[in-house]
């Protein structure tokens, strides 16, 4: 079993605490196929230089997520716009290292109540992350855990994640805790902490919320067969971000969320087709960004 990188490990733990809602309450048990909802997300990260290199890149992101009961299917894409590729310390110095990266995710999650205080959750996830060819791009994760409702304000959950792809495999524990304190009109404070994700905010009403969030992002992509970076190899990206978002829900079905972000701790690592690390870790400067998300429940 290969050693899981710190960035990937932290990302997996962040992804493993979805059974707490934003306000801290455990999600209600859903039917096998309903309700049905869709979320469309767009975002961008401003052009930023790579350290020890004169080249730079800007990223445009998009995602579509369809959810039906415990099932979810999503596509996420990242488009890179490069400047001064000849000054980069990776690639061949003339071609763009890559332009479009893709990620498909299929998952099923089940949350159930044990008694008035305890609940459980389990999830199975399959992914495919690639530049062009999908072979060798697949990964899977299994998560299981329990939650405890401490009182009307506090909830916690804990468990473990088993993860594997062509680069890493590991078993990791996770822990999350959440707090909420709302008035009858829907106004109030909330907070949630994961390992190491965090979110805190204030709801003015049931329709209007402002929140501050910290999180991690990262994916391992299978590079194309004739990649100028590593032929049939892998790119592992990792970063952290802080964001300030405004959430608005004008109707029971429609939701809107948007806000500025700051991306930092940005790194890239490369692996050959056997999964062995090649070259040095590439670091990119911090940059501002933003996100806009529209959701609809049928």
**Residue pLDDT, tens place only, 205-240:** 999 999 999 998 889 999 999 999 999 999 999 999
Residue 35: asked if its preceding bond is cis (omega within 30°), the reply is: yes
Task: Quote the strand ranges of the chain, DSSP E.
Answer: 36-49, 56-68, 71-83, 100-113, 118-130, 138-149, 154-164, 169-182, 188-193, 198-203, 208-222, 234-248, 254-271, 277-284, 287-297
**Cβ 81 vs Cβ 104: under 8 Å:** no
Is 185 within a domain?
yes
Token pair of 191 as six digits: 């907070």
pLDDT at 196: 67
Tokens representing 100 are 């479009």
Q: Identify the domain containing residue 165 by its residue range.
A: 6-297
238 versus 17: the higher-pLDDT residue is 238
Task: Please give the Cα distance from 82 to 85 (Å, whole number).
Answer: 7
pLDDT tier, 20 (very low <50, low <70, confident <90, very high otherwise): very low
Per-residue pLDDT tens for 73-103?
A: 999 999 999 999 999 989 888 899 999 999 9
Contact 220, 53 (CB under 8 A): no
- pLDDT (average), residues 26-36: 65
pLDDT on residue 17: 44
pLDDT digits (tens, 9 = 90+) for 120-138: 999 999 999 999 999 999 9
Q: Residue 24 falls within a domain, yes or no?
A: yes
Greater pLDDT, 46 or 93: 46
- Give, in order, the Cα–Cα distances in Å from 21 to each of 97, 108, 155: 39, 17, 10
CA 210 to CA 96: how far, in whole Å?
39
Q: What is the pLDDT of residue 167?
A: 87
Torsional sign, CA 83, 62, 12, 260: positive
Q: Is residue 150 part of a domain?
A: yes
Count Cβ atoms within 10 A of the Cβ of residue 8 and give its class: 0-12 exposed, 13-18 middle, 19 or more buried. buried
Q: Mean pLDDT across the stretch 60-77? A: 96
Q: Reply yes or no on whether the pLDDT at 272 is more than 60.
A: yes
User: Quick one: what percent of the chain has pLDDT higher than 70?
Assistant: 89
Question: Which range, of 103-112, 188-197, 210-219, averages the lowest pLDDT?
Answer: 188-197
In a domain, 209, yes or no: yes
For residues 267 and 283, give the distance between their C-alpha atoms in angstroms, rounded to a whole number.
Answer: 5
Provide the pLDDT confidence category of residue 18 given band limits of 50, 70 and 90: very low
The predicted pLDDT at position 116 comes to 92
Asked whether the predicted pLDDT for residue 199 surpasses 90, the reply is: yes
Structural contact between residues 115 and 94, judged by C-beta atoms closer than 8 angstroms: no
For residue 21, the model assigns a pLDDT of 40
pLDDT at 68 over 60: yes
**Structural domain count of the chain:** 1
CB burial of residue 198 (10 Å; 0-12, 13-18, 19+): middle
| For residue 29, pLDDT beyond 60 | no
Q: Could you tell me the pLDDT band of residue 295, with boundaries at 50, 70 and 90?
A: very high
How much is the pLDDT for 33? 73
pTM above 0.75, yes or no: yes
User: Is residue 1 in a domain?
Assistant: no
CA–CA separation, 32 vs 70, rounded Å?
6
pLDDT at 31: 62
- Residue 194: the pLDDT is 85
Question: In a 10 Å sphere around its CB, with 0-12 CB exposed, 13-18 middle and 19+ buried, how is residue 240 labelled?
Answer: buried
Average pLDDT, the chain: 89
pLDDT at residue number 168: 85
pLDDT at 19: 46
């Amino acid at each position: 079993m290969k050693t899981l990188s710190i960035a990937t490990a932290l990302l997996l733990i962040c992804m493993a605490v979805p059974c707490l809602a934003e306000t801290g309450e455990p999600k209600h048990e859903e039917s096998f196929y309903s309700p049905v909802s869709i979320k469309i997300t767009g975002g961008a990260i401003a052009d930023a230089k790579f350290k020890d290199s004169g080249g730079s890149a800007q990223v445009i992101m998009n995602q579509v997520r369809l959810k039906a009961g415990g099932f979810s299917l999503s596509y996420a894409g990242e488009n890179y716009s490069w400047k001064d590729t000849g000054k980069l310390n990776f690639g061949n110095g003339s071609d763009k290292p890559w332009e479009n990266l893709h990620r498909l995710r299929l998952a099923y999650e089940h949350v159930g109540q044990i008694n008035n205080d305890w609940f459980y959750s389990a999830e199975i996830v399959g992914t495919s992350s690639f530049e062009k060819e999908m072979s060798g791009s697949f990964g899977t994760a299994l998560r299981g855990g329990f939650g405890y409702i401490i009182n009307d304000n506090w909830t916690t959950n804990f468990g473990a994640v088993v993860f594997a792809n062509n680069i890493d495999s590991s078993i990791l524990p996770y822990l999350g805790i959440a707090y909420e304190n709302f008035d009858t009109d829907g106004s109030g404070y909330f907070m949630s902490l994961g390992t190491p994700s965090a979110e805190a905010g204030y709801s003015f009403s049931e329709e209007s919320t402002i929140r501050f969030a910290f999180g991690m992002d990262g994916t391992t992509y299978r590079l194309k067969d004739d990649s100028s970076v590593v032929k049939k190899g892998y790119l592992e990206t990792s970063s952290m971000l802080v964001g300030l978002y405004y959430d608005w829900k004008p109707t029971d079905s429609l939701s809107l969320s948007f806000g500025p972000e700051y991306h930092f701790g940005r790194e890239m690592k490369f692996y050959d087709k056997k999964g062995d690390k090649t070259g040095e870790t590439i670091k990119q400067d911090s940059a501002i960004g933003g996100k806009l998300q529209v959701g609809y429940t049928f």
